[in-house]
Structure formats: C-alpha cells, structure tokens
C-alpha cells in the first residue's frame, strides 16, 4: 500500500503532540519570566519612589482635522476652525 503502517502513523502523531506541547510549555515559561521581570521592575521603582507606569490619557477627536489629541492640554492645530485655543 502506500507505506503507511499503524506504527508510523502513531509515531507521527506522537511527534506532532510533542512539538505542540513543547511550544505551549515554552510560551508558559516565557510568560512567567515576563511576569517576574515586571514584578522586579515594579518593586525597584517603588523602592526608588518613582512610578514605572505611564498613566493612560483620554483622547478626543478634533472635528475639523480628524486627529485625536489629548483631552488635557490640547493645543491648536493651526486651522482657523480648530476648537482649541493656542
């Protein structure tokens, strides 16, 4: 027949499963490393008294030009119909 025996098919399936679970394991190891690295950085930043994370800032859309600008501290884009002052 085509040279496929039950043993070869089972071995091929086992090989695929081994590679699949190997990649999943490596992904989990990397996630743990990343988590520990972030925790170390957070603790070091807390010990030094500065904040390591940048706070998120709300954006609003400028109706005339369509650009998104920071809600606080928005400046004029130079167009005459810009809603923000200089």
What is the C-alpha separation between 70 and 77, in angstroms, rounded? Answer: 12
In this prediction, residue 1 has a pLDDT band, given cuts at 50, 70 and 90, of low
Q: What is the DSSP letter of 8?
A: H
The pLDDT of residue 31:
95
The pLDDT of residue 23:
96
Give the DSSP letter string of 32-68: HHHHHHHHHHHHHHHHHT---SPPP--EEE-TTT--E
Asked whether 50 and 60 are in contact (CB, 8 A), the reply is no
Domain ranges of the chain: 6-54, 56-86
The pLDDT of residue 69:
79
The pLDDT of residue 10:
95
pLDDT digit string (tens) for 20-75? 999 999 999 999 999 999 999 888 888 887 655 667 788 888 777 788 877 777 77
């Amino acid at each position: 027949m085509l040279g496929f025996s039950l043993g070869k098919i089972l071995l091929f399936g086992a090989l695929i499963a081994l590679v699949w679970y190997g990649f999943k394991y490596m992904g989990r190891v990397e996630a743990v490393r990343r988590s520990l690295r972030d925790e170390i950085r957070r603790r070091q930043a807390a010990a030094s008294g500065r904040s390591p994370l940048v706070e998120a800032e709300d954006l609003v859309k400028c109706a005339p030009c369509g650009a998104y600008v920071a809600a606080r501290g928005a400046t004029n884009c130079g167009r005459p119909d810009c809603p923000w002052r200089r």
